[in-house]
Chain A
């Protein structure tokens, strides 16, 4: 624990250094010299959907079922179909690699995530996820009381997280360093309230906040929290502490890509109150992680699906003809040829803002949802010649308080090597300072040098030597990284309508949950696959 005195000395020291070194060049002009590029979901191919410059269909193939989208929801649906005995299966993915938000990369130093980087231990309602973790060996056994034993190598190694504030580090992310007594009491009060929410159940016997969200209680007393913003909820409860507000904002931006004044209180509380995992060898709050983040999980799903995955396939039409079945037209980006897949049914695991523009035909009108809000993100991976700061103090997740970024995670944190040297760090920033569409346009217009300069300047405040140690810096722009649970979305009618199948088309995506987390996508995938399987007999052949 860092005392107030240490903090004061620390900030005096930082101020002294700053004063002495005068107007220091922030990154020594390195930003323009560090190699790297801007990557991102294939927006160029995506835009071809709008311009309509697509070749006519020149080949028709058949499959019993087709899955559209190779993110976690699509992979999970395909896995479920496969293990239920569907052999004639095809999965279409736009990008050159599967994974969606769980996409990862690798270089000579380490594998690293491009998006989601950890999975919390499964809560009591996440039964499908828990069963799968057992299947793939992440739950290695059970203690005498039935509590699962998790794979020690996948549990996030200690030290897990730390916070940088006014020039000093503290352990953990809940602000404690230099927080006045009254504010500390508010933080304690808030956390205690969240703990109570965690065990609160409604009249239907369900927990107020569960994962998947649709297993939460439907009591209006709880759902009313979805009508106000998280910021309003804090104000209403008298929690005015600046440190607490920073922490809540950090958490909302971490999971929803938007701060407490943009997301609903129901979603905000869900972040803190939904997880109640039991584990024999870890605390309830522990998480599972790998160098490549959730890319590791995506690869496990991919292996269960097998080889019937077609990457670089731009789906441009999903037709549900009156004769039955579904006809999906896609552009094979490698050959520039359009191909039609005729199938008995399909799981549409694309984000809905795209999918709803591609669907025609079928029973009744195609439901269109113009008001879905998605948060844009920027993620950067930096290859470092030397671990930043002191090796032994480095945590997995390193968060700066005075920054618009969420800090960085260390890809080699789980490494067993006694003397790791080089590493890759993944830097996260939700782009929520302006409305999403404006943020997307601004982000796409920026150069690599501009991003690199901003990222290095931010990281340099934590680690003065970091820019000089950076060998490479790549930036990934996620235009529509995650659904944003704005007030009214979780409890309102939109989500229910999004979940209804459209003829032979079942939907699976975390945007139908309102919360973009692995468990939601995974469970949606299974549910959509089961919907198709249940109607297998009634669906006409392709």
Chain B
């Protein structure tokens, strides 16, 4: 190969290694934000540590003696393997290592140091081939262009189309290939090349295997974040649905939040449904908003007088799963296939607006108000609509998060129901997998009637029922704002209270 060709090739490799170097950094920053939250802090510290490590690498380059080219090739292989698999390593280890940050910054220091070695070594390799001013100008030009390429490729192509893990492996392969090319092109300057060649191919094969197995790696890493075996994991347009199983427990997670554990969900669902419905002997028509798991419907169907249930749940993948999957159908007693039940996959707020038919009992079983989107479903506007579909003498029950952890949030829902002209009966129940959980029974007029509980309940009895309505002082009423579309007071309470609880 001509000298000019060699020079060009070396400069092309400057471009390639610059791109790879920035990609690793962006992967680490994105991954840290993704797993640890607070993207400003994560990106900032990742960038700082990475740049500092590059400084260490540049400093260390002075100690490289002998065949600089050999060293450069080894460095390329090492960056390829470590940098390329960094995303996979971090994902897999997240749930297992006690200090994730030590691993994260350890990897960043290793990759950063190696990347810091690259350019000084390259300058020394090219020293004899170019004039100094041209050398510096060319090397840094290609370095910066490589950075531009990475910064555009990463958000536009890599993250949306390949994902972090696969992108990592791909650029690992590029790094190793740069090393291998150098072996081939400059073999005369290297002396023995068999070992270097073998090492290069080994690295590429390893990274290629990782690239091919990226999907499986993601599944393993997800399993690792759950205690039990993941038996179902899929993303719907609305949420990540994950089902886990151990010997005697089935759990549903939506976006990583536990929705129920089969070991104690009956406590939650018996309390949700029977505290109200057992006092409405005239009830014929029931509306369930949320509750796509069919567990509330199972409880409603215990009453022979119920003629029709309308179940409105946003996500067809959830109602579909709970209509078909064997274990889940066993759990909800096939409630979703009941001829009395009609499933509507719609956004509850929009669906409710413009309804004119009426229901004797309405179950509101939405996720907790952790963001502005869900917060809308707990506002005066929403409850006004719900009141509009409530038949005379009917009642509505609302799941209201934990009155122990999120006391203001709980009583904010109560205040909001009062503002929407409901009379309320707040109550709570202990669900071991959740903790102390709260519900509010709401009706237009004070609800009379005595409890006539159906057969076959495992938790509620007339005696236990009576105790649910007493609130000890640590969960008792507190004055709060009313939650409206134009203030979203509940989401603010909820964020504040759960943030304090978690940390």
Binding site for B on A (CB under 8 A): 6, 9-10, 12-13, 16-17, 20-25, 28, 152-153, 155-160, 168, 281-282, 286, 391-392, 416-420, 464-465, 468
Q: Which residue of chain A is the closest to B47 with respect to CB atoms?
A: A16
Task: Name 17 extra pairs, CB < 8 A, besides A10-B44, A419-B237.
Answer: A6-B40, A13-B43, A13-B44, A16-B51, A17-B47, A20-B147, A152-B379, A153-B381, A157-B488, A158-B485, A158-B486, A158-B487, A281-B380, A281-B484, A416-B350, A418-B314, A418-B374
Q: Decide yes or no: A28 and B486 within 8 Å by CB, A391-B373, A419-B238 being known contacts.
A: no
Given contacts A13-B44, A159-B488, contact A23 B372 (CB under 8 A): no
Given A9-B41, A22-B144, A159-B488, check contact A418 B376 (CB 8 Å). Answer: yes
Tell me, rounded to whole Å, the shortest Cβ–Cβ distance linking B105 to chain A: 16
Which of A6, A12, A286, A416 has most chain B Cβ within 10 Å? A416
Q: List 14 A-B contacts (CB under 8 A).
A: A9-B40, A17-B47, A20-B147, A20-B151, A21-B148, A22-B147, A24-B152, A152-B484, A153-B381, A159-B488, A281-B380, A416-B347, A418-B373, A468-B155
Chain B residue at minimal CB-CB distance from A6 = B40
Identity of the chain B residue whose Cβ is nearest the Cβ of A421 in the assembled complex? B237
Residues of A contacting B51 in the complex (Cβ-Cβ under 8 angstroms) = 16
Q: Contact between A22 and B372 (Cβ–Cβ < 8 Å)? A: no
Set of chain B residues within 8 Å of A22, measured between Cβ atoms: 144-145, 147-148, 151
Min CB gap B224→A, angstroms: 26
Which residues of chain A come closer than 8 Å to B414, judged between CB atoms? none
Q: Which residues of B contact A6 (CB under 8 A)?
A: 40
A419 with B148: in contact, given A13-B40, A153-B485 (CB under 8 Å)?
A: no
Chain B 125-160 interface residues, beta-carbon cutoff 8 Å to A: 144-145, 147-148, 150-152, 155-156
Given contacts A152-B379, A158-B485, contact A23 B47 (CB under 8 A): no
Interface pair B381/A24, CB less than 8 Å apart: no
Q: How far is the CA of A157 from the CA of B372 in the complex (A)?
A: 10
Q: Report yes or no: B349 in contact with A417, Cβ–Cβ below 8 A.
A: yes
> With A13-B44, A28-B156, A168-B40 as given contacts, are A286 and B486 in contact (CB-CB < 8 Å)?
yes
In the complex, the 3 A-B pairs of residues with the closest C-beta atoms, listed nearest first: A21-B151, A392-B371, A158-B488
CA distance A156 to B487 in the complex (A): 9
List residues 344-366 of chain B with CB under 8 A from any CB of chain A: 347-350, 353
Interface residues in chain B, defined as those with a beta carbon under 8 Å from any beta carbon in chain A: 22, 25, 40-41, 43-44, 47-48, 51, 144-145, 147-148, 150-152, 155-156, 237-238, 314, 347-350, 353, 371-374, 376-377, 379-381, 384, 484-488
In the complex, chain B residues whose CB is within 8 Å of the CB of A28: 152, 156
**In chain A, what residue has the closest Cβ to B376?**
A416
- Tell me how far the C-beta of A158 lies from the nearest C-beta in chain B, rounded to whole angstroms: 4
Q: Which of A22, A25, A168, A281 has the most CB of B within 10 A?
A: A22
Distance in angstroms between the alpha carbons of A419 and B488 in the assembled complex: 17
Residues on B with C-beta less than 8 A from A152 are 379-381, 384, 484-486
Interface centre among B44, B152, B155, B484 (most CB of A within 10 A): B44
**What residues of A have a CB within 8 angstroms of the CB of B47 in the complex?**
13, 16-17, 20
**Cα–Cα, bound, A23→B485 (Å):** 43
> Once the chains bind, are B486 and A282 in contact (CB under 8 Å)?
yes
CA distance A156 to B372 in the complex (A): 13
B353 closest partner in A (C-beta): A416
Chain B contacts for A16, CB-based, 8 A: 43-44, 47-48, 51
> Which residues of A lie under 8 Å from residue B384 when comparing CB positions?
152
A420 vs B237: C-alpha distance in the bound complex, in angstroms? 11
- What are the residues of chain A within 8 A of B238 when measuring CB–CB? 418-419
B485, A17: Cβ atoms closer than 8 Å = no
Q: A17-B47, A416-B353 are in contact. Are A24 and B373 (CB under 8 A)?
A: no
Partner of A24, one of B148, B374, B484, B485: B148
Distance A28 CA – B372 CA, assembled complex (angstroms): 33
What chain B residues lie within 8 Å of A21 (beta carbons)?
22, 147-148, 150-151
A23 touching B155 by the CB < 8 A rule? no
Are A418 and B349 closer than 8 Å at their CB atoms? yes
**Chain B residue nearest to A153 in the complex (CB):** B381
Which of B147, B237, B377 has most chain A Cβ within 10 Å?
A: B147
A179 and B75 alpha carbons, distance in the complex (Å)? 47
CB distance from A16 to the nearest CB of B (A): 4
A186: shortest Cβ distance to chain B, in Å? Answer: 28
A17: chain B residues at CB < 8 Å are: 43, 47
Q: Which residues of B contact A392 (CB under 8 A)?
A: 371-373
CB-defined contacts of A419 to chain B, threshold 8 Å = 237-238, 314, 347, 373
Q: Which residue of B lies closest to A10 (CB)?
A: B40
Chain A residues, Cβ within 8 Å of B147: 20-22
Question: Are B43 and A464 in contact, with the CB atoms below 8 A?
Answer: no
Interface centre among A24, A281, A418, by most chain B C-beta atoms within 10 angstroms, is A418
Chain A min CB distance to B375 (Å): 8
- Pick the contact of A25: B41, B152, B486 (CB < 8 A): B152
A20 to B353, CA, bound (A): 50
The distance in angstroms between the C-alpha atoms of A376 and B105, with both chains bound, is 53
How many whole Å from B52's CB to the nearest CB in chain A?
A: 12
User: Residues of A contacting B380 with CB < 8 Å?
Assistant: 152, 281
B43 neighbours in A (Cβ, 8 Å): 13, 16-17
A282 contacts across to B, CB distance below 8 A: 484, 486
**With A286-B486, A417-B347 as given contacts, are A23 and B144 in contact (CB-CB < 8 Å)?**
yes
Closest chain A CB from B166 CB (angstroms):
20
**Residue from A12, A25, A468 whose CB has the most chain B CB atoms within 10 Å:** A12
Complex formed: what's the CA distance from A464 to B371 in Å?
A: 23
B237 partner residues in chain A, CB cutoff 8 A: 419
Nearest neighbor of A464 in chain B, beta-carbon distance: B155
Q: For the complex, what is the distance from the CA of A286 to the CA of B380, rounded to whole Å?
A: 17
CB distance from B83 to the nearest CB of A (A): 16
| Complexed CA–CA distance, A155 and B381 (Å) | 11
Q: Which of A158, A417, A468 contacts B350 (CB 8 A)?
A: A417
Q: Nearest-CB distance from A220 to chain B (Å)? A: 40
CB distance from A156 to the nearest CB of B (A): 6
Which chain B positions have C-beta within 8 A of A417?
A: 347, 349-350, 373
- Highest count of chain A CB atoms <10 Å: which of B371, B379, B484, B485: B485
Q: Which residue of A lies closest to B238 (CB)?
A: A419
Q: Which residues of chain A are within 8 angstroms of B25 by Cβ–Cβ distance?
A: 20
Q: How far is the CA of A491 from the CA of B449 in the complex (A)?
A: 70
* B351 nearest in chain A by CB position: A416
A13 to B33, CA, bound (A): 13
Q: Is the CB of A155 within 8 A of B156?
A: no
Q: Output the least CB separation between B418 and chain A (Å).
A: 14
Identify which of A9, A12, A155 contacts B485 (C-beta below 8 A).
A155
Please determine whether A416 and B152 come into contact, CB atoms closer than 8 angstroms.
no
The answer to whether A25 and B381 have CB atoms under 8 Å apart is no
Instruction: A286 to B314: give the CA distance in the assembly, Å.
Output: 31
A420: chain B residues at CB < 8 Å are: 373
Once the chains are docked, how many angstroms separate the CA of A130 from the CA of B249? 60
Pick the most buried of A6, A159, A420: most chain B CB atoms within 10 A of its CB.
A159
Residue of B whose beta carbon sits closest to that of A157:
B485
Q: Is the CB of B485 within 8 A of A25?
A: no
Complex CA distance for A168 and B39, rounded to whole angstroms: 11
| A465 to B155 alpha-carbon distance, docked (Å) | 8
Complex contact B372–A158 (CB within 8 A): yes
Q: In the bound complex, how far is the Cα of B153 from the Cα of A468, in angstroms?
A: 12
